[in-house]
């Protein structure tokens, strides 16, 4: 038996330490939490992506009483970006969330597994790393690529 340890690089920033461009993207994700439809979970998530052509696309989570019919903010945003700009790479995604009391979460919230897989596919389609910014009141996490968020990921190469 062999044992392997997987480590990921993670940068932790105070909001004020982010670049102007990153703060703007995080602010758009925070703003998008106001467009969330979350009557069941009362957990509002917003996302904003920066495309390689300079465009910014935003989205929010949309719930439904039939839970599988709802969609997370990350997937809403990435699917819209990919449908509108199919040949343009997504370079960065920012994600923010508010809890049931309407306050932004203290610690950054990580995307669900389905969103991680979609982020991986968006990165693959774009042919370049997709940087991730996860906002929380106390700090913002930065990951340089989706594999850092999804080690041992499933890709098209696994099917060969």
**Where in the sequence numbering do the catalytic residues fall?**
74
Helix 113-126, helix 73-84: angle, nearest 10: 20
Q: Residue 108: left (phi > 0), alpha (psi -120 to 50), or beta?
A: beta
Provide CB contacts within 8 A for 92, sequence distance 6+.
22, 25, 49, 50, 130, 131, 132, 133
Q: Which two tokens stand for residue 91?
A: 């370079």
Closest CA to 123 of 132, 113, 114, 136: 132
């Amino acid at each position: 038996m062999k044992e392997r340890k997987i480590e990921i690089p993670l940068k932790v920033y105070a909001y004020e330490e982010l670049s102007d461009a990153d703060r703007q993207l995080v602010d758009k994700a925070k703003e998008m939490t106001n467009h969330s439809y979350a009557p069941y979970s009362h957990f509002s998530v917003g996302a904003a992506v920066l495309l390689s052509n300079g465009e910014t696309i935003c989205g929010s989570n949309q719930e439904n009483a039939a839970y599988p019919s709802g969609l997370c903010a990350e997937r809403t945003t990435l699917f819209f970006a990919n449908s509108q700009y199919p040949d343009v790479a997504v370079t960065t995604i920012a994600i923010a969330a508010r809890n049931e009391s309407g306050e932004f979460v203290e610690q950054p919230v990580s995307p669900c597994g389905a969103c991680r897989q979609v982020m991986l596919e968006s990165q693959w389609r774009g042919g370049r790393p997709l940087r991730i910014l996860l906002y929380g009141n106390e700090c913002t996490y930065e990951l340089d690529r989706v594999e850092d968020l999804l080690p041992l990921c499933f890709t098209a190469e696994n099917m060969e």
